[in-house]
Amino acid sequence: MRVMGIDCGTEYTGFGVAEQTHGNRDLIYLTCGAIKLSKRDSLPARLAHIFESLCAVARTYQPDVVAIEEVFYSVNAKSALKLGQVRGVAMLSAATCGLPVAEYSPLSIKSAVVGYGRADKAQVQYMIKHLLNLREAPEPPDAADALAIAICHLHTSATKARQSVVAAH
């Protein structure tokens, strides 16, 4: 299974693609990066840039599914609204490419990758480097977060597959 993780953000939107072959527990790194948004551009222009960039990554790497972080509740309503717009564009890019979308809470993503739901960005970067056998930790942290989201989906899917096999017997 190949998964594209997206870490939605209003300054940087991270993306990462990883896969795990059937029967092989090794995680394989394919790509990661971040879409930098200019505050000088209008909001519609920034959203269009995110959409086009995510569609290009999906066309290039052909994931089976897109995984994104669920909305978390923010004290700042304006920030939450902007983040919601970016998430909507991320979902639209997946739907445009014919890809299903899975959503995970920040707690479940960090737990799946670090083993601790309150892990900080540096801990996530370190574990992504380790899990994917990378020479350097992914930069910026948004790219590492996107890979963490993808890995969370890979782990969750593998666990569900094992549970369905056990339940069938």
From the candidates 11, 52, 142, 145, give the one annotated as an active-site residue: 142
List the CATH code of the domain at 2-168: 3.30.420.10
Instruction: Provide the percentage of residues in the chain whose pLDDT is more than 90.
Output: 79
Q: pLDDT tens digit string along 133-153?
A: 999 999 999 999 999 999 999
Amino acid at 8: C
Q: pLDDT tens digit string along 101-134?
A: 999 999 999 999 999 999 999 999 999 999 999 9
Q: Is 120 tagged catalytic?
A: no
- pTM: predicted TM-score of the whole model, two decimal places: 0.93
Half-sphere exposure of 50 (CA within 13 A, CB side): 32
Can you state the angle between helices 77-96 and 43-61, rounded to 10 degrees?
40
Q: pLDDT tens digit string along 14-65?
A: 999 999 987 677 899 999 999 999 999 999 999 999 999 999 999 999 999 9
CB 49 within 8 A of CB 35: yes
- CA pair distance 125, 138, nearest whole angstrom: 6
Burial of 50 (0-12, 13-18, 19+ CB in 10 A): buried
Q: Is 26 tagged catalytic?
A: no
Dihedral pair phi/psi, residue 135, rounded to 5°: -70, -35
From the candidates 7, 19, 52, 70, give the one annotated as an active-site residue: 7
- CA pair distance 88, 1, nearest whole angstrom: 24
Half-sphere exposure of 105 (CA within 13 A, CB side): 7
From the candidates 19, 26, 41, 69, give the one annotated as an active-site residue: 69
